[in-house]
Structure 1
Amino acid sequence: MGNKLVTFSEQQLENYQDCTFFTRKEILRVHKRFREVRSDLVPKNMIEDQPVTIRIPLESMEKLPELKENPFRSRICEVFSRDGKGNLSFEDFLDLLSVFSEQAPRDIKVFYAFRIYDFDGDQHIGSEDLDQAIRLLTYGELSPEDMQQITEKVIEEADVDGDGKLSYMEFEHVITRAPDFLSTFHIRI
C-alpha cells in the first residue's frame, strides 16, 4: 500500500455528496480551491471537525476571482457563513459554491437570493434592503432621489399584498419573470 494522502474520510465525502450538488471529484476540487485562498490556514487533509472550525476571514474570501467583481461579495459571504460575519469554513464555502453551481435547482437559488437581498434579516425585502441593493449595484452613483424612485417602482410593481415590502413569495414571483436570473446566479469551480 502507498502513502496516499486522504483529504476527507469516505463518510465525509458521502455526506458532502448527499448535501450538495457536487460529485466527489468536484468536492475535492472545491477543497483545493478553498485551500488556495489561505494555504497557511487550511491543511491538505481535513480531520475531525476542521472542515467546520477552520475559517478563512472575509477579507481573504472577497479576493477570490469568483467573488471579487460581485458587488454583493460581502453579503454573500455573510449569508453563507455560520458566524454571520462572512468568515467561511470549508463547509460554508462548499455550500456557497453548491448553491451557485449550475446543478443547483432554481428554488434553492431563489431562496438564497432572497436571503442575500434581505439585509436586515426580517424575512421581507423592504425599502431599506432595496436601497442597499441599489447602492451596491450602482456603486453609489445614483442620487438619493433616483434611488428612492427605483425603490418605489420596484415595490409598486412587486408588492402584491400592498404592505410596502416584498415577502418571499412576492420576490419569487418577480424572479420567475426574470429570464436571466438562472444564467447569472452561478459560479464555476
Structure 2
Amino acid sequence: MGNTAPYKVLTQTELSELQENTNLSQKQIISLFKRFEALDKDDTGIITYDKLFSIPELAMNPLVLRVIGLFDPKEPDPEKIQFNFTQFIQTLSVFSEKASNEEKIRFAFQSYDVSNSGFIDSDNMKKILKFFVGDCLNEKQISEIIQKTFEEYDKEKNGKISFEDFQKIIDIDDICDKMTILI
C-alpha cells in the first residue's frame, strides 16, 4: 500500500502557509511537491545529496554542489546537506516569476559567497570560476580574471566584493531573466 507518512499529504492550511511565505502559487507548490516526492524514493520526507545526484542532469552540472549548498548555508559540506519539503520550496521560490529582482540578485550573490561571509573574496571567486570554466582556463588565467575583477569592483580595496559592488558587476536584467523558471 505504501507509506502514508504525514508529509505525503499537503493540507489546505499547509498550502496556504507555503503560498504566503513564498513567491509560489498553490498550483506551483503542488507541482513541486510531486517533484519532491519523486526524488524522495524511500519516503523519508528528506532529500539528501545522494538522492539529488541520482538524477543524471544534476550529477553532470558543475554548479549543482553550490546550489545544494544554498539549501543549508550553515553546512560547509554539501554531501551532508539534507532538506525537507518546506526548505525545498523556500529555496526554489526565488526562481518564481513573482520573486523580486532583489531576491534573485541576493541568491546569485550567495552562490558566489562560498564562505557565507557576506562578501565575495578571491578564494570564493576562484572556486566559482573553476565551477564555470573547469579545465578550460589555467591557474594563471583564472588569477588574472580575479585580479582584474577586484581592481575594478573592489571599491574599498579590501579584497572583498560587497553585495552593493556585486550589483554593479552583473547585468541585473540578464541574471533575473535567467533566474526565472516556470514551475
Amino acid at match of 2:98: Q
Distance 1:69 1:154 in 2: 28
Superposition TM-score, scaled by structure 1 size: 0.81
Match 1:115 to one of 103, 110, 115:
110
% same residue:
28
**Residue 180 of structure 1: SS of its match in structure 2?**
helix
Amino acid at match of 2:108: A
Amino acid at match of 2:175: F
Measured on the aligned residues, the alpha-carbon RMSD in Å equals 2.2
Question: Which residue number in structure 2 is paired with residue 152 of structure 1?
Answer: 147
Distance 2:73 2:155 in 1: 33
**Residue 161 of structure 1: SS of its match in structure 2?**
coil
Contact between 2:105 and 2:176, CA under 8 Å: does it hold in 1? no
Contact between 1:20 and 1:95, CA under 8 Å: does it hold in 2? yes
Amino acid at match of 1:180: D
Stretches of structure 1 lacking an aligned partner (at least 5 in a row) = 1-5, 43-53
Amino acid at match of 2:63: F
After the TM superposition, which of the residue ranges 65-74 and 13-22 deviates more from structure 2? 65-74
Cα deviations by residue, 1:150-175 (Å, 9 ceiling, x for unpaired): 11111122112221210111112222
Distance 2:151 2:118 in 1: 19
Equivalenced residues, count: 172
Q: Does 1:60 align with 2:55?
A: no
- Would you tell me which structure has more helix in proportion to its own residues? 2
Contact between 1:79 and 1:86, CA under 8 Å: does it hold in 2? no
Distance 1:14 1:145 in 2: 52
Gap change, CA 1:62 and 1:153, over 3 Å in 2: farther
Superposition TM-score, scaled by structure 2 size: 0.83
